[in-house]
Chains A and B, each alone.
Chain A
């Protein structure tokens, strides 16, 4: 009998433990964000390429120039660690004058030495995102210290100011790191202290990376000596909640202040609910289909046009995407510099006429390769249905993304349906991959989307190169609009829409603005 008493007591003890309420009152100056941590690898600035990692670096590091705000963030270049800058007459050398009041988290001043060290460090580490910088600044000696607070950066071709800012304001590889901290943690095998920086920060941003438990939580703490002033929040906790439903419940319950990965139908449900706010910004990535000109029927420009006129864009954007997307049919997304606002619509009459003129009145068969995750299979089904109306028989093959990429990169597809996101905040980030192709052979200079689809518009390729170097913004804009116009008319792409970035917050969260590349979201000015 005694044993049963003991077991009973144990059960009572556990029950009591579970029933005593916890005492976790979250203070007003602590912001809790629910976000999936799945894509995060680490926080080495020279390596970070994934959005979630970039979002954390945005809070812990600074660059020479900055972008601030919501939808319009990338329309204006703000000073960052550089107070001002000018460019030489030949357009090749940029001189940056650093502000004197910026400090690293260690308390040391941010000076020319640190800027030169950081950019050269990124070049030396040579990680995946480095091409964004090295396409224009390939060599370490192109970055020079002039005096303690002046730096020059020479580029291999003249750049428009916007393009310079987009590259130098890019997050990881252009973040300025504290050389003293790097040196303190360097080892003979790891001279740049990559291992240490993967889990800590050496920045000068408004927040300090305090704690990182993988797939669990990231804790950022305010840096009181930040050059723009101390941030309003004392602490930010970015909690890994991978399941959107769990995020939504936690937001409604008030356990988190911001939910970052809700599905469109959840956002629709939350709109208008008391105590909740929804922030929506059109993103700079889009879903698009592409036709390989190496596949006989698609080599005819009229067939490509017919396909574009045959698609029911409304059904895809309003139906499948449930309105959580904005229509965009040109290669420069809505809200980016020089975006050309031209849209297709479904016109089956015209499409059939074009097919007839091309000699494909009786249609043909084509394989459409796409991803297995939503919304790709649904969009593919819509395209299949639409193209059937102009006698094109589409066979949809859904495969995992890595498998699709293998065929796509080898120019082996007939038609694909995938996505593309702008790498940095300038139309050159779109024009080069979508419209630069000097030859469809293996010796091509840029082997990106135009090349993969064997679309080699010789005149346009020259414009793409010219536009990147054009320093007059007005002329640049005209060039990019011309490129978009030609690609829209004769190119291999059916660009569908840009999904909305949808973030839900508690009502008392103020000052949160989400730019079109959401990982540039600043938490510096957020209050609660």
Chain B
């Protein structure tokens, strides 16, 4: 098992290298000028030349690549053109907020997705099944933009049950930054008021983001459960006189979890890259907005840096999913 994980981690380095190279060249063959994007339409030409030289953009492409690679090997992701800060520092600044939101949304997705999936498998073909299938369809097809604004209007503006955009009430001071995760930092600082507010602020964006995940997880759970429930050993369990709940939740569920863990991993990986729309609507200072702004500003170092981080997260979640297979199904062994 250990050697398998090490092998996978070694492969990851190659994957990241490939991603870096591809993104590096793609982002530089775009026929637009990042310096123009940064300085705007009014900058004098001498200044543009000066800034271009500062970012090595006046050098041939392969030179730029070698410079970037050399610095990368020293652990330097470069300096962002649009924020003027080291990209690594920017990623550390903005990733925790996305991590917190993605984790909350994934927990909701898995929890409600599995429950809905089980219900519609057990009640397959009946009203509950149709209802849950309909909601899955809605969850997949509803535009996040619309859903987010609608929820804000309903639960914040009209009903007043939940707070509006942001991570904390505007007047409330933030707990000192330790992990960057605002719920955890609140607890570390012993700020119960901040913890409570942070949780409340987390609800709406997490629910919006979980819609897609719930839909995906519940569909996969349903079909996987239906397959397992037709197996012989389930008949045996029932014949032994076990209670139906026991049969479904103990005997069937674990065996049905293999594809569910795959889809959960994919969902988590997808959410970890950040969602620019949800983060914008809910004023969430996360990776999605940072990366999107970087793309729009043609901020090469930030684009390559954030793409590599996203690739790394995908590779890691996939690895965790593969490892979980061995736990879920002892027949699977990695050597």
Contact = CB atoms under 8 A, between A and B. Distances in A.
A335 B250 CA distance: 77
Contacts, number: 144
Interface string A25-46: 0100010100000100110000
A406 interface: yes
Given A22-B200, A41-B84, A128-B47, A433 B156 contact: no
B203 to A, nearest CB: 7
Interface stretch (A176-184, A397-405, A513-521): A397-405
A96 B293 CA distance: 43
B281 A243 contact: yes
A366 to B, nearest CB: 21
Interface residues of B, number: 56
B36 A409 contact: yes
Given A128-B51, A246-B283, A253 B169 contact: no
Interface stretch (B11-19, B114-122, B160-168, B218-226): B160-168
Contacts of A214: 83, 93, 285
Q: Interface size class for chain A?
A: 35 or more
Nearest to B37: A402
Nearest to B165: A246
A24 B43 CA distance: 45
Contacts of B280: 242-243
B199 A216 contact: no
Contacts of B196: 17-18, 20, 22
B203 A128 contact: no
A237 interface: yes
Contact of A406 (B32, B42, B94, B169): B32
Contacts of B93: 214
Contacts of B84: 41-42, 47, 198
B139 to A, nearest CB: 22
Contacts of A241: 165-166, 283
A225 interface: no
A128 B282 contact: no
Given A22-B197, A242-B283, A402 B163 contact: no
Given A128-B43, A402-B34, A433-B42, A249 B156 contact: yes
B63 interface: no
Interface string A194-235: 000010000000000001011111000000000000000000
A387 to B, nearest CB: 23
B31 interface: yes
Given A131-B44, A213-B285, A409-B36, A250 B165 contact: yes
Interface stretch (A349-357, A415-423, A459-467): A415-423
7 contacts: A18-B203, A198-B84, A213-B285, A216-B283, A253-B164, A401-B41, A402-B34
Interface of B: 30-34, 36-37, 39-45, 47-48, 51, 82-84, 93-94, 149, 152-153, 156-157, 160, 162-167, 169-174, 193, 196-197, 199-200, 203, 280-283, 285, 289-290, 293, 296, 298
Q: Shortest 3 CB-CB distances between A and B: which pairs?
A: A402-B37, A403-B32, A405-B36
